[in-house]
C-alpha cells in the first residue's frame, strides 16, 4: 500500500495578484500553513488550482514554487489529465517528476467516452507514466462516471494505478469500491462532506478543498477517523460542516479563496469565467472564520 497517500491531501488553490498574475508569495505561505498544521500531502494543479486557466509556463512555475517551499517535507501529487489521451501522454513525457510522487488524472471530460474508452485512456496513461497514478472521478464536472467495475479493473490490471480520488458524491459507490478493491488500492474521498464517513468505512483519507483553509482541524478529523474514533472525529466534522457548505455554494475555488482572504493568506481573485464569491457569501465566510 502506498502509505504516503493516507490521511489528508489538499487540492491547493493558485493565488492571484490584483492583475491576475500568479502570487507566488501567497502560494508559499499557503503551503507552509498547511504543512505546519499537519496535512499529509499536497495536490498541485488540480481543478481547485484553476489549472484550465494557467499557461504551461505558469503550471511549471507553480509546481516549482510548491516544490521549493515544501523542500521534501510531504509528498506532492501533480494534476495531469484531459480529454485528448495523446496530449496527456505528451505532457507526461515532457514533465520533470523529480519532486513529484504521483499524478492525479481526471476522467476525460466533454467527450463522454464509454467505460471501455475510459479504461483504454487510463491504460495508455499507465503505460506512459514513470510514477504512480491516482484516478480522479468527478462526474459532476466531467459528465461521465467511472463505474466501480472500471475502477477495480484498472486497479487490478496496472500496478502504478494506486488509488482513486472518488468525487461522485455517492456513498453507495464509495461502499462498493471499498468492498471490492484490491487490498493495496486506496479509496480517497473527493467529497469534503462525506470524507469522514468514507474513512470510517475503510477509505484511505481525502483530497480536500476545505482542508487547506482549516488544515489543523480537518487533518486531525481524518486521522481520528482512520483510528476509528468516530465520536471525537464527528465533533470536528460538525464544527466544520457549515463552512464546507459555504465554499461550494457558488463555485470552487471562489469559496475557498474567500476563506483565505478572511484568514489574510491571499486575495479572493479568480480568473474568468469564474468570478469572486458574492458579497453575501463572503460575509458569511468571514463571520465563520472570525468565530471559529
Annotated catalytic sites, by residue?
136, 165
What's the grid cell of residue 76?
Answer: 506532492
Cell of 169: 458524491
- DSSP code for 276: P
Spatial separation of the C-alpha atoms in residues 269 and 276, rounded to whole Å: 6
SS3 (DSSP) at 104: strand
172 C-beta neighbours (distance < 10 Å), count: 9
47 exposure class (CB count in 10 Å sphere: 0-12, 13-18, 19+): buried
Tell me 37's DSSP state: T
* Helix 230-247 vs helix 215-226: crossing angle, to nearest 10: 140
d(CA 245, CA 209): 11
Distance CA 103, CA 11 (A): 13
Q: Write out the H or E segment, with its range, that includes residue 281.
A: helix 279-291
> What is the rounded end-to-end Cα distance, in angstroms, of the chain?
36
In whole angstroms, give the CA distance from residue 141 to residue 48. 12
- Beta strand segments in the chain, E: 7-11, 41-44, 76-79, 102-106, 132-137, 161-166, 186-189, 205-208
Amino acid at each position: 500500500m502506498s502509505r504516503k497517500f493516507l490521511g489528508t491531501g489538499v487540492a491547493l488553490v493558485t493565488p492571484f495578484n490584483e492583475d491576475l498574475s500568479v502570487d507566488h508569495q501567497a502560494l508559499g505561505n499557503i503551503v507552509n500553513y498547511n504543512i505546519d498544521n499537519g496535512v499529509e500531502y499536497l495536490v498541485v494543479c488540480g481543478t481547485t488550482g484553476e489549472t484550465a486557466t494557467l499557461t504551461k509556463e505558469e503550471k511549471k512555475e507553480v509546481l516549482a514554487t510548491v516544490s521549493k517551499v515544501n523542500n521534501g517535507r510531504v509528498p506532492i501529487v501533480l494534476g495531469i489529465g484531459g480529454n485528448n489521451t495523446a496530449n496527456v501522454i505528451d505532457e507526461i513525457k515532457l514533465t520533470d517528476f523529480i519532486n513529484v510522487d504521483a499524478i492525479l488524472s481526471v476522467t476525460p471530460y466533454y467527450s463522454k467516452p464509454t467505460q471501455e474508452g475510459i479504461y483504454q485512456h487510463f491504460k495508455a496513461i499507465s503505460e506512459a507514466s514513470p510514477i504512480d497514478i491516482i484516478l480522479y472521478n468527478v462526474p459532476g464536472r466531467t459528465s461521465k462516471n467511472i463505474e466501480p467495475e472500471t475502477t477495480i479493473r484498472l486497479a487490478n490490471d496496472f500496478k502504478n494505478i494506486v488509488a482513486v480520488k472518488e468525487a461522485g458524491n455517492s456513498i453507495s459507490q464509495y461502499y462498493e469500491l471499498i468492498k471490492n478493491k484490491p487490498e493495496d488500492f486506496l479509496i480517497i474521498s473527493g467529497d469534503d462532506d462525506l470524507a469522514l464517513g468514507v474513512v470510517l468505512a475503510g477509505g484511505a483519507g481525502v483530497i480536500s478543498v476545505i482542508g487547506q483553509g482549516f488544515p489543523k482541524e480537518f487533518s486531525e478529523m481524518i486521522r481520528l477517523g482512520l483510528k476509528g474514533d468516530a465520536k471525537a472525529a464527528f465533533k470536528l466534522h460538525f464544527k466544520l460542516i457549515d463552512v464546507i457548505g459555504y465554499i461550494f455554494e457558488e463555485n470552487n475555488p471562489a469559496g475557498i479563496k474567500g476563506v483565505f482572504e478572511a484568514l489574510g493568506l491571499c486575495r479572493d481573485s479568480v480568473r474568468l469565467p469564474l468570478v469572486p464569491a458574492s458579497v453575501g457569501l463572503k460575509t458569511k465566510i468571514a463571520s465563520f472564520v472570525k468565530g471559529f
